[in-house]
């Protein structure tokens, strides 16, 4: 059945391709899967995680414990690390669902060492300059004092996170790497992880034992590596076509006034669906490779576009493209004045999602 609502297509084979591309690029490192925020807004956790597992991924990162519990309910054998750490009263929940907290403070570390009796896995996050989460550098000595306890674990991972990895030329990347190297030398004999999506393409010295791709898996940051495939496409049907006379205005606050007779089309998506209001009188959609400008103010559920130049080739029920493999989420992010992460994590749940292999 063809619905008159926007449709989001997610190419699962492209996710697999992107994972394998990163595996080849990081041949000496384990490639994990970051699937927080419902796989960066794409949903279908069971489909995306399953595709990554079939591609060889065994270790996943989520943001909070609820995300971890949900994925664990579907997949019993994978390793799930929870980035937001071990918070008060969560110890038994982590154990019940076989989740591993990313330890972000000395108090969390002491608590987990005392509580966790199976001595299988522990992952410790050091803050090398993000100043968000993680054990600060000046507390490394306190961790060293606990090394005998850590050495009882089958696997210990030391990790950090880069603040400016989206900018290859930013000198802060190397400053953080050198800080991480210093921590590594203070705590030898473990596994180490520094690079997430952007850091992966800063070069081999950033890879260490594990890399943690996120947006790369879903088609973002194509400028870092042209082999990354587009994953997500958004299109919307035209639900009404109108003839606008010269001098008439469009939308809330009448921000667009027709300078000539104009043919307009209305599409059923708006700022409630993650299409930023900043695109008012500025953005555009595509039809058969042609740009169609957005006119008037983007409203909650509707956008008006100017179809005058294609008025005889387009009709109600036809679909226009918001972004796809030709006009990517990176392109759309640049148009919107934001980052590709925000584009896909703000994708509305109202969209029909079509997962294709």
DSSP string, 7-30: EEEEEHHHHHHHHHHHHHHTTTSE
The catalytic position among 54, 114, 252, 356 is 252
**Measuring CA to CA, how many Å separate 16 from each of 48, 110, 209, 356?**
9, 38, 21, 12
100 near 81, Cβ under 8 Å? yes
Count CB neighbours of 128 within 10 A: 25
Concerning whether 25 is annotated as a catalytic residue, the answer is no
Degrees, nearest 5: CA angle 213-219-225: 75
Question: Are 37 and 63 contacting, i.e. CB atoms less than 8 angstroms apart?
Answer: yes
Which whole-number Å values give the CA distances from 12 to 231, 260, 281, 353, in the listed order?
7, 45, 34, 12
36 is catalytic: yes
Are residues 45 and 35 in contact, defined by beta-carbon separation less than 8 angstroms? yes
Of the residues 36, 190, 271, 341, only one is catalytic, namely 36
Distance between first and last Cα of the chain: 20
Active site residues: 36, 252
């Amino acid at each position: 059945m063809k619905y008159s609502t926007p449709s989001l297509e997610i190419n699962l084979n492209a996710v697999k391709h992107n994972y394998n591309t990163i595996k080849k690029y990081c041949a000496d490192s384990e490639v994990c899967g970051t699937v927080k925020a419902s796989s960066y807004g794409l949903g279908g956790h069971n489909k995306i995680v399953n595709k990554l597992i079939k591609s060889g991924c065994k270790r996943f990162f989520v943001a909070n414990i609820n995300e971890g519990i949900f994925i664990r309910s579907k997949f019993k054998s994978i390793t799930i690390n929870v980035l937001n750490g071990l918070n008060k009263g969560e110890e038994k929940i982590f154990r019940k669902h076989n989740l591993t907290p990313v330890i972000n403070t000395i108090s969390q570390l002491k608590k987990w060492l005392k509580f966790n009796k199976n001595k299988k896995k522990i992952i410790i996050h050091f803050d090398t300059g993000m100043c968000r989460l993680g054990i600060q550098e000046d507390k490394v000595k306190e961790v060293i004092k606990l090394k005998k306890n850590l050495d009882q674990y089958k696997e210990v991972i030391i990790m950090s996170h880069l603040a400016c990895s989206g900018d290859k030329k930013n000198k802060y990347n190397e400053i953080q790497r050198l800080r991480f190297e210093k921590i590594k030398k203070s705590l030898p004999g473990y596994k180490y992880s520094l690079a997430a999506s952007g850091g992966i393409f800063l070069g081999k010295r950033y890879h260490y034992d594990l890399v943690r791709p996120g947006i790369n898996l879903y088609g973002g940051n194509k400028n870092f590596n042209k082999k990354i495939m587009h994953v997500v496409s958004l299109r919307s049907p035209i639900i009404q076509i109108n003839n606008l006379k010269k001098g008439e205005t469009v939308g809330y606050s009448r921000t667009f006034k027709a300078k000539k007779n104009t043919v307009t089309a209305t599409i059923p998506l708006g700022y409630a669906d993650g299409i930023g209001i900043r695109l008012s009188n500025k953005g555009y959609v595509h039809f058969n490779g042609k740009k169609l400008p957005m006119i008037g103010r983007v409203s909650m559920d509707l956008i008006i576009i100017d179809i005058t130049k294609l008025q005889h080739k387009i009709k109600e029920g036809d679909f226009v493209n918001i972004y796809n493999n030709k006009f990517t989420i990176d392109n759309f992010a640049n148009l919107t004045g934001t980052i590709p992460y925000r584009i896909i994590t703000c994708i509305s749940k109202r969209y029909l999602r079509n997962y294709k292999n």
